Structure 1
Amino acid sequence: MTVTQPQRASGAGTESLVDMAWDPITRIVGSLGIYTKIDFNQRVVAECHSTSSIFRGYSIFMRGKDPRDAHFITSRICGICGDNHATCSCYTQNMAYKVKPPAIGEWIVNLGEAAEYMFDHNIFQENLVGVDYCEKMVAETNPGVLEQANRTDAPNAGAHGYRTIGDIMRALNPFTGDHYREALQVSRMTREMFCLMEGRHVHPSTLYPGGVGTVATVQLMTDYMSRLMRYVEFMKKVVPMHDDLFNFFYQALPGYEMVGNRRIMLGCWGSFQDPEHCNFEYKDMTDWGRKMYVTPGIVVDGKLVTTDLVRINLGIRILLGSSYYQDWEGQEMFVTEDPLGNPVDKRHPWNQHTNPQPQKRDLDGNYSWVMSPRWFDGKDYLALDTGGGPLARLWSTALAGLVDIGYVQSTGRSVKINLPKTALKGPVELEWHIPQWSNTLERNRARTYFQAYAAACALHFAEQALGEIRAGRTKTWEKFDVPKDSIGCGFTEAVRGVLSHHMVIRDGKIANYHPYPPTPWNASPRDSFGTPGPYEDAVQGQPIFEENDREHFKGIDIMRTVRSFDPCLPCGVHMYLGNGKKLEMLHSPTQTAGIE
């Protein structure tokens, strides 16, 4: 953290603001920096800017490549959610090649992606975000809250085994807390589940357009299910434990609901295809999109605007605003109409050009390598966020009321999750209710519930896959031809939210390719209209509850808010070396001694 001398804000009267920056944000991957002005007199964050300091160039060097390599290349965008990129790229290629994978192939992909959700959300929630609420952190930032936690009985103690809220906080202490250590073991198990289906974590070795290379056997499903049931048992404890912890913060700190709170503007692109309905053809995308086991949707002010993937696709706009790029005004339009004849905007990913323009950071001008994706509803350019992924997914699915598979049901106002009997516990029904706020605590709470949701969906997928295997339908891949000219788009949910890939093929090669993961949506800077990005909006204006004075201020409430989005900057920015310059560094023998 860096701190500068107080500066008087324009129109602030006698109030003074203190510049404070956290750069880089720790416990995440990437180069995210949060720059704030804090009013310690009013105990509020007066201003916030979200920055990213590195650029890479996937949208540039994908050009001219063989389209069949797209999923292998784009998987390397990120070392955390690479499989989500590979999956989305295969969806994009399936559309472009007009190929429909066999049903067992899709069930295997769903099982792999469910394992990834379970793995990543578990390790982030328990071992990274959980540290923000552990005994050691609360003792350093809100000792009064810790005293109250030690005196407060946990309402769900019978379900999770911790008598007081203070006991839960101690269980989250890094390396010493028993829940922290147990979660590390669970993360290993979920990674094994992923590898059973997709071969390698996190860059799949068995995922292809047209299906998968995984050999479908009863033993494969048995190995997966044995681990899944242990995870299901784990979630029966975790959900009520986190409910107790997050509800306590509302109780202990009146007004804490405003930490990280922003207008409800959530985007979800849907996840888990139903092979009975999904043929990956654009003309049918509205219908098969609504058959996903996580329903795509845009929620504004608590209302479901649309569940139509075609409308969602056509509404995407890439604005530059405060980012380090030249505009592509006047450059080639690759796609003027979609396959249904709808006009495609020049600011749509199909038509985007990436023109990097490195420059010095200027918080009053351009200050980030992240662009500003927005969704145009016909009137406004909405700065949608993903709620860290799970909040948008559960909210959209709940309101749509389209999912009912026994293990999970969406009711129009909630999502019910039915976990079957396990070795030590009987069946449990969990219910996530649509919250009043889109804030820090509810993003974290949704992450816990979605782990259980992914596990319940995986139970269904495994049963369907076993049905295919027992019926002798074990072909996992369908042949295809790469057309000379085509376009494709893929939609799914990366761990931390919306993920789309858009590809244009000309003369059998990639002419344009743009992946848009959740990070640019969440971490975007102020756009061309001056609208802050979601990180900025959620932090800016939030109250400060930390008990430390300015000299010892840790910014825990700010960090909790930013981390509640599950930030992961590699997906937002990529590497740049200028005009093909060769970089060399000369070392003397003493300088290189000991370097391997």
Structure 2
Amino acid sequence: MATTEDKVSSQQATNNSKLVEMAWDPITRIVGSLGIYTKIDFENREVVECHSTSSIFRGYSIFMKGKDPRDAHFITSRICGICGDNHATCAVYAQNMAFGVKPPSLAEWIINLGEAAEYMFDHNIFQENLVGVDFCEQMVRETNPSVWAKAQKTSAPHADIHGYKTIADIMTALNPFTGELYREALQVSRYTREMFILMEGRHVHPSTLYPGGVGTVPTIQLFTDYMTRLMKYIDFMKKMVPLHDDLFDFFYEALPGYEAVGQRRILLGCWGSFQDPNACDYDYKHMTDWGRKMFVTPGIVVDGKLITTDLVEINLGMRILLGSSYYGSWENEERFVTHDPLGNPVDKNHPWNQTTIPKPQKRDFNKNYSWVMSPRWYDKSSGDHLALDTGGGAIARLWATALAGLVDMGTVKATGHSVQINFPKTASFGEMQLEWKIPQWSNAIERDRARTYFQAYAAAAALYFLDQAIAEVRAGHTTVWEPFKVPEEAIGCGFHEAVRGVLSHHVVIRDGKIANYHPYPPTPWNANPRDIYGTPGPYEDAVQGTPIFEENGPDSFKGIDIMRAVRSFDPCLPCGVHMYVGNGKTVEVNHSPTYGVGCAPGE
């Protein structure tokens, strides 16, 4: 049952009798071993302390060393079974830079179409089948009966578009397995995955994506097959955007003060997405210019203000801090890169220079307690190491793009204060314009709302990419791969947006092999523990201070407000930590009749 899956694993009074320790470990309806440990003041209805932990460690940064650089995208796509193609794409971007190769334009449009389909697929299945359950009838009935009662009496403002008369009808449609929207979303996930496969061959580990281009055979029929599914998806999104607006607006109305759930300071990072082949040559020296031509604008937003859209500045500001994680310092290790190709100094704690030194130990919330390091962005103007978050990806992408005002595809336009999305006529609806407006807060509700709008953004962008790809084919420009040679010495970096946020890959090549490699996906940015300065990670920060609106007491508490706060970030822990087996372990099998097949007694 969706309403009982988040079980409280511990509950005991602390020295302060007003505080109750509660832990959810693992957090469910996500991928990976995320634990949230809290202290809750039930008298004042508030979470007063939170620690975010990860109990798994993997190690791509270790076993990538010595590998052939041409294999980087195939290997790193296995970091995750959900966003593997995002890793492959980002790795290809880094390879293109290191190898000095510019793919043909058609290859870039094909990659953009594949990644757009991935955003549509992944955001859809998370929004309706995973995080949507937090807002379904069963969950709301059990955690907030008064809210359910009000939902039954509240008309849905956009009922004429989506067809659900009341907010309660929407909640019922989100019930797992039985709800109409829940089941429909599963069907949508099928044909959006088909869209991806048409472009990149296999989901989720692409088989036709390479440095220098793609192996996809471009034909008008290929793009037509994609288009038929895309128009079906656009028809779906015309219904879902106003539906989610109705649902999320209702929570603000039904629970005054709900904007504080999952709210934190506006510290958002976006590394940009969808390359423009007319601008991007993958030369680091030109990265500032071609980065700003991306169809999702890179940017860092601090307290609502866009402080940079420069990928070179974003790159140089990256710092990997150990903080409260299970690793040793690399202060005395080799420094791989002292200066970038423009001559700028590169910090010792930059991903190009990081050395991963795992140190397993007992969890101690006063010292070290997680396998996730603490990525930070160094703001030169303030001297602060900022704990940026991605807000689940969508809100950071929309916020940075809106403020920058650089994107104008016709189907999508950034205005400086919003993003306009223009849809053509479809089977069920006429032409429609949607507009995501910059919200007042970075909180649970607005992260979830942005996810729906970015699904629409990705669909509208795909319309533009299709036009460009078809024009290339009709003009006879059907080359999709450019040959290259692997240099003996090189560095490269790739910047992309995984579904749930910022993604970068940094590679150092020596003697024709990988000497250092560090992928940094969104979850390390979101799920990290307190850093060396004592600054909590974004999950911790978003949960600490969150008010409790759930009507259940400590004995039957489900923590729904905490879960909404955490799951609004779309956690995916496999991307946060990586596997390592050290020198290996020998397992002896005893076939004696006394003990049977297995380990010796006591082992």
Please give the range of the TM-score, normalised by the shorter of the 2 chains.
over 0.9
Aligned partners of 2:398 and 2:454 also within 8 Å: yes
For 1:185-334, list aligned pairs within 5 A: 185-334=187-336
Mapped partners of 2:34, 2:432: distance in 1: 39
Of residues 350, 356, 368, the one that matches 2:352 is: 350
Aligned partners of 2:422 and 2:460 also within 8 Å: yes
How many Å apart are 1:164 and its aligned residue?
0.3
The change in CA–CA distance for 1:183 and 1:585 in structure 2 (over 3 A counts) is farther
Of residues 373, 376, 399, the one that matches 2:375 is: 373
For 1:550-569, list aligned pairs within 5 A: 550-569=554-573
CA-to-partner distance for each residue in 1:230-279, whole Å, 9 max, x for gaps?
00000000000000000000000000000000000000000000000000
How many Å apart are 1:586 and its aligned residue?
5.6
Of residues 82, 85, 88, the one that matches 1:83 is: 85
1:382 aligns to what? 386
The change in CA–CA distance for 1:520 and 1:414 in structure 2 (over 3 A counts) is same
How many Å apart are 1:581 and its aligned residue?
2.2
Residue 580 (str. 1) matches residue 584 (str. 2): yes
Q: Tell me the amino acid that sits aligned with residue 167 of structure 2.
A: I
How many Å apart are 1:4 and its aligned residue?
2.9
The change in CA–CA distance for 1:91 and 1:586 in structure 2 (over 3 A counts) is farther
Mapped partners of 2:318, 2:384: distance in 1: 12
Residue 403 (str. 1) matches residue 407 (str. 2): yes
Residue 4 (str. 1) matches residue 6 (str. 2): no
SS at match of 1:120: helix
1:175 aligns to what? 177
1:69 aligns to what? 71
1:359 aligns to what? 361
Q: Tell me the amino acid that sits aligned with residue 171 of structure 1.
A: A
Mapped partners of 1:16, 1:551: distance in 2: 14
SS at match of 1:285: helix
Q: Tell me the amino acid that sits aligned with residue 9 of structure 2.
A: T
SS at match of 1:5: strand
CA-to-partner distance for each residue in 1:558-591, whole Å, 9 max, x for gaps?
0011100000000011223233223456689998
Mapped partners of 1:439, 1:239: distance in 2: 18
The change in CA–CA distance for 1:587 and 1:577 in structure 2 (over 3 A counts) is farther
SS at match of 1:34: strand
Mapped partners of 2:163, 2:502: distance in 1: 35
How many pairs does the alignment contain? 588
Mapped partners of 1:536, 1:231: distance in 2: 35
Aligned partners of 1:318 and 1:372 also within 8 Å: yes
SS at match of 1:4: strand
CA-to-partner distance for each residue in 1:417-436, whole Å, 9 max, x for gaps?
00110112101100000000
1:423 aligns to what? 427
Mapped partners of 2:12, 2:500: distance in 1: 36
Aligned partners of 1:3 and 1:18 also within 8 Å: no
Mapped partners of 1:110, 1:452: distance in 2: 15
How many Å apart are 1:8 and its aligned residue?
2.6
Residue 105 (str. 1) matches residue 112 (str. 2): no
1:138 aligns to what? 140
Mapped partners of 2:421, 2:539: distance in 1: 30
Q: Tell me the amino acid that sits aligned with residue 335 of structure 1.
A: V
Residue 125 (str. 1) matches residue 127 (str. 2): yes
Mapped partners of 1:548, 1:261: distance in 2: 22
2:487 aligns to what? 483
SS at match of 2:218: coil
SS at match of 2:12: coil
Mapped partners of 2:246, 2:401: distance in 1: 24
SS at match of 2:112: helix
Of residues 508, 511, 518, the one that matches 1:507 is: 511
SS at match of 2:484: coil
The change in CA–CA distance for 1:437 and 1:583 in structure 2 (over 3 A counts) is farther
Q: Tell me the amino acid that sits aligned with residue 333 of structure 1.
A: R
- Runs of 4+ in structure 1 over 6 Å off: 587-593
Aligned partners of 2:590 and 2:596 also within 8 Å: no
Mapped partners of 1:210, 1:463: distance in 2: 22
The change in CA–CA distance for 1:153 and 1:506 in structure 2 (over 3 A counts) is same
Give the aligned CA root-mean-square deviation in angstroms: 1.2
Percent identity, aligned pairs only?
76
1:12 aligns to what? none
Q: Tell me the amino acid that sits aligned with residue 441 of structure 1.
A: I
Q: Tell me the amino acid that sits aligned with residue 232 of structure 2.
A: R
Q: Tell me the amino acid that sits aligned with residue 419 of structure 2.
A: V
Which has the higher mean CA deviation after the structures are superposed, 575-584 or 434-443? 575-584
SS at match of 1:492: strand
Q: Which TM-score applies when normalising by structure 1?
A: 0.97
The change in CA–CA distance for 1:541 and 1:173 in structure 2 (over 3 A counts) is same
Aligned partners of 1:523 and 1:534 also within 8 Å: yes
What stretches of structure 1 of length at least 5 have no aligned partner?
Answer: 10-14
1:92 aligns to what? 94
Mapped partners of 1:580, 1:153: distance in 2: 61
Mapped partners of 1:115, 1:161: distance in 2: 26
Q: Which TM-score applies when normalising by structure 2?
A: 0.96
Mapped partners of 1:475, 1:140: distance in 2: 57
Residue 519 (str. 1) matches residue 526 (str. 2): no
How many Å apart are 1:2 and its aligned residue?
1.6
Q: Tell me the amino acid that sits aligned with residue 372 of structure 2.
A: V
Aligned partners of 2:62 and 2:580 also within 8 Å: no
